[in-house]
Amino acid sequence: MATKKLSDLAKTIRSKNAGTDKITFDVIFRERDTYEMVKRSRALTRETMADLFKISGNRITDFVEYDPANAIKFTILRDRPSGSPGDPDIFGAQQYAPLLDVEVPIEA
């Protein structure tokens, strides 16, 4: 089956703080058809995101397929609070990079 990178399908892929102890991720699509195709592919699920980010599934506090915005959103608990010693990304804005290369099976 053919695949495409998520970065080629999504309009926006981003991460940001969701309070001091969480980072939230947004994957937003322009077209409803593309959004629905990605949902059906199951390339983005709570389980695949835990595997991708090499975290326990219980660190994902929320996982939402938000149809009104053609968006898939999820939130993870940080290893340490934002801005604390050893925090590599105080704003959580650089954590989305692994999502860019996610291979999504595409329908012919």
pLDDT tens per residue, range 12-69: 999 999 999 999 999 999 999 999 999 999 999 999 999 999 999 999 999 999 999 9
Name the residue with higher pLDDT: 108 or 49. Answer: 49
Is 12 within 8 Å of 26 (Cβ atoms)? Answer: yes
**Region for residue 58 given its phi and psi (left: phi exceeds 0; alpha: psi -120 to 50; beta: otherwise):** alpha
- Domain-wise residue ranges, the chain: 3-99
Show the CA angle centred on residue 21, arms to residues 16 and 25, nearest 5°.
30
